[in-house]
């Protein structure tokens, strides 16, 4: 049973399109996150959600919006995709939001052409 | 501000050698947590260890060991008798309750290549 899963694994799309990445965790964790890993492997937090409430919103473009239908899911919607959005996006979860270890999904490689 | 520095961008060793990956952190908080994650070529991120700022005891897990020294703000990771399967990018990360608000601040990673 996969603890944190993401779909799709690969996403190729054209500039200007809108796309979504889904994330689900079956660990019963309270907090979920989205990270972006750029081409140089640098990982940076984008969002975190605790019990369906956004608790951190880093300075990412408002074209990116997280949506959490329930505690086990945190989806990432991206509008008007740009070339610079190409990256690997990781979903993660932790038991609480307070410095617990985070468990990551397999990542979604987004390529914008 | 919170910061994690992994000065070694790439390290290459021959199998069975010992290798140490360095990690230096900065934080103003007295309570903080340090982590190591492994990212093998397949791409997933694997949690290795979490250490809180009040526990400076070194930890050993099989061939892996971690040396936490608050005096030098370092949390180094040593692999003993390295194996080809240890080839990966290793990330050190910091989390505190202040500036990072509990989120992970990652270093830029160290790519370890273990050659047979």
Q: Which residues of B touch A88 (CB under 8 A)?
A: 43
- Which residue of A60, A87, A101 is the best one to mutate when testing the B interface, meaning the one whose CB has the most B CBs within 10 A? A101
* pLDDT, tens digit (0-9, with 9 covering 90-100), for A12-55: 999 999 999 999 999 999 999 999 999 999 999 998 888 767 77
Q: Which residues of B touch A95 (CB under 8 A)?
A: none
Q: Which residues of B touch A100 (CB under 8 A)?
A: 50
In sequence order, what are the residues at sequence separation of 6 or more whose Cβ sits closer than 8 angstroms to the Cβ of residue A67?
A74, A75, A76, A77
In sequence order, what are the residues at sequence separation of 6 or more whose Cβ sits closer than 8 angstroms to the Cβ of residue B62?
none
What pLDDT sits at residue B99? Answer: 59
d(C-alpha B114, C-alpha B111), whole Å: 10
Beta carbon pairs, A and B, within 8 Å: 55
Tell me the three state secondary structure of residue B70: helix
* Residue A111 reports pLDDT greater than 90: yes
* Residue B73 reports pLDDT greater than 90: yes
What pLDDT sits at residue B97? Answer: 73
């Amino acid at each position: 049973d996969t603890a944190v899963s993401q779909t799709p694994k690969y996403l190729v799309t054209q500039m200007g399109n809108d796309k979504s990445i889904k994330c689900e965790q079956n660990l019963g964790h309270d907090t979920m996150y989205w990270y972006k890993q750029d081409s140089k492997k640098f990982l940076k937090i984008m969002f975190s959600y605790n019990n369906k409430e956004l608790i951190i919103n880093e300075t990412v473009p408002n074209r990116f919006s997280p949506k959490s239908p329930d505690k086990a899911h945190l989806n990432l919607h991206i509008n008007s995709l740009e070339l610079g959005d190409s990256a690997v996006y990781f979903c993660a979860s932790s038991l609480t939001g307070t410095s617990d270890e985070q468990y990551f999904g397999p990542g979604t490689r987004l390529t914008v052409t | 501000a919170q910061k994690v520095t992994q000065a070694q961008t790439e390290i290459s060793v021959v199998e069975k050698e010992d290798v140490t990956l360095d990690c230096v952190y900065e934080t103003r908080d007295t309570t903080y947590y340090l982590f190591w994650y492994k990212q093998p070529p397949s791409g997933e991120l694997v949690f290795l260890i979490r250490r809180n700022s009040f526990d400076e005891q070194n930890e050993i897990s099989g061939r892996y060991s971690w040396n936490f020294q608050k005096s030098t703000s370092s949390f180094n990771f040593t692999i003993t008798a390295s194996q080809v399967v240890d080839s990966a990018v290793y990330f050190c990360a910091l989390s505190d309750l202040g500036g990072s608000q509990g989120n992970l601040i990652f270093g830029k990673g160290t790519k370890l290549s273990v050659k047979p």
